[in-house]
Every structure is written in C-alpha cells, then in structure tokens.
Amino acid sequence: MLNPDEVRQRAERRLAIGLVASGPAAYAEMEDFLAPYPVTHDKRLEVMQYVYRAGDPGTPDTFDLVLYEQGAPCPPKAFTFFNTDPQRTVEEILNAREDLDLPLARSFYPFRKPVVDRVVTAVARENALFAIASALPNFGGFIDMPWSVGEFISDTAFITMNQVRMALLVAAASDKKVGYADQKTELVSILGGAFGWRALARELVGLIPLGGGLIPKGAIAFAATYVLGKGLEHFHGVGYGYTRAQRRDAYHLAYEKGKAVAAALLHRRRAEEK
C-alpha cells in the first residue's frame, strides 16, 4: 500500500449496494443514511448511481452489499440497517467486509470516520510494536521480520514508511487525491518529524534502566503516528491541520493510550516466553 496507484484503485472500486425495504419512506431513510448531510447534492447524485432498490429496473445481478430494513428477515451475508442505531450497521459491515473499507469510506460518508479511525489506530499500533521490537531482536510471536538486516530496516525507516502508507490510506478514505505529488505537504511533514520522535525515544530508553524505557518508546511511536493520522483527517475534513494547542492535547491523550498498548504488547511477549 505504498503504491498510490494501488491505493487509488482499491478506493475507487465501484460498489453495487442493494436495498430491501417495505416502502418508499423506509427506502428514503436508508438512502439518507448512505448520503446524509453534509454530503453535497452532486456527491449524493454520484453515489446514488451505485444504490439500487429491490425490484427497480436495471438492477445488477450481484451486489457487493445488501441492506435490509430493520425488522425484515435478513439472509446470511446481508446486513440489517438499524435505523435507531446506524453506527451499529457501519460497525457490523466493516467487521465483516474489511475488503470494502476504502471504497465505502470514499463514497459513503457514514463510513469515512470509522474507516479512518481503524486505519490510524492499526498503523499506530504497528508502529508501537515495531519500536519495541527493534530494541529486542528476539521479540518473537508477533511479526515475521528479518531482524538480521539490522539498520537496513531501522525503526525510524519502518515507522516513517508506515506513516506514509497511512497518509495515502487516509486521503483515499477521505475522498481526496492520492499520490506523492498531490500529498507533498503531508509527506514532507512526516519526513520532517521522523527524527524528532526517534531522538526522544532513544533518550527515554537510555535513561530508564532494565528495559523500562521500552514502554515509553512504544508509546511515543504510537502517539506520534496517531496524532499525525488524526491531524491528516482534520486537514482533509476542514482544509487545515491541528493548531499547536490541539496537537499538544491530542498527543497527551494518544501517549497515555500508547502506554497501555505498549504495556499489553510486552505483557503478551513475556507470557509467551513462559
């Protein structure tokens, strides 16, 4: 997913969404769920080309996703639209159909934030894991990585590369242009910040004896990645990034979350060693 063309192709996949409901009002409610305010009129017209009511002429033979009105019998592999809890519908679909995350987020607004949250959290967790693992060459049981190459795949290089991948995915999920040229400003900020968090992480590991700095190191990698991802989401949503104060507050919260993630990873490793 470091190839912008691959990310773009995945995000621009045209989906066929089927709706099954008892009448016009129920159909309209489901359509409003898929394309609610603040979706523009033009965007709504665009995405509704991929949405079909049961029985409408010209419906395709197969669908990527089928939604049933709440209360109607829902067959296997279809999903219920919970009109009283639309977020439940989103979560159930994303849990079952991870392969559709980017095209759903790009085209259908209710999926955008949940998909971005999943991308950012997953990449931040990967980076916390790698930051810890790079200090423990025998860190087994999590990922298969050729540690013997040493500095060729340093934690800085890996984490920065992963943040670049995250930037491409967040842009795609946010229905923005994807590409190194189109995202030049975002990528420059990623590269510029790489060595700052790295220096801080090294200092913490060095100051805290007996490996106690591993949790702060992992937490820093998590927080730096998480705040970057949420800042990119904010940038794509409103046209500008976090303020200094917003970044500071977000980092504080993400660092605390990162400590819990890093501690859980270390606990799992120690349990596997027993």
What pLDDT is attached to residue 154? 67
Give the model confidence (pLDDT) of 90-141 as tens digits.
Answer: 999 999 999 999 999 999 999 999 999 999 999 999 998 888 887 665 554 4
What pLDDT is attached to residue 203? 53
Task: Compute the average pLDDT of residues 54-83.
Answer: 94
What pLDDT is attached to residue 192? 64
Most confident of the following: 16-25, 53-62, 185-194, 231-240:
16-25
Percent of the chain with pLDDT over 70: 83
What pLDDT is attached to residue 199? 55
What pLDDT is attached to residue 9? 95
What pLDDT is attached to residue 143? 45
SS3 67: strand
135, 201, 198, 259: CA torsion to nearest 10 = 90
What pLDDT is attached to residue 134? 75
Q: In the chain, at which residue ranges do the beta strands (DSSP E only) sit?
A: 17-20, 51-53, 65-69, 79-81
Closest CA to 1 of 120, 151, 162, 110: 162
Question: Of 39-43, 76-80, 148-152, 243-247, which gets the smallest average pLDDT?
Answer: 148-152
85 — pLDDT class (breaks 50, 70, 90): very high
Give the model confidence (pLDDT) of 166-215 as tens digits.
Answer: 999 999 999 999 999 888 888 877 766 555 555 554 555 444 444 456 78
Question: Of 16-25, 28-37, 105-114, 153-162, which gets the smallest average pLDDT?
Answer: 153-162
- Our CA angle for 260, 112, 92, nearest 5°, is 75
Residue 230 and residue 242: Cα distance in Å, rounded?
9
What pLDDT is attached to residue 112? 96
What pLDDT is attached to residue 25? 96
229 — pLDDT class (breaks 50, 70, 90): very high
What pLDDT is attached to residue 152? 38
What pLDDT is attached to residue 209? 45
What pLDDT is attached to residue 151? 40
- Angle between the N-to-C axes of helices 4-11 and 155-173, in degrees from 0 to 180, rounded to the nearest 10: 30
SS3 19: strand
Mean pLDDT of the chain: 84
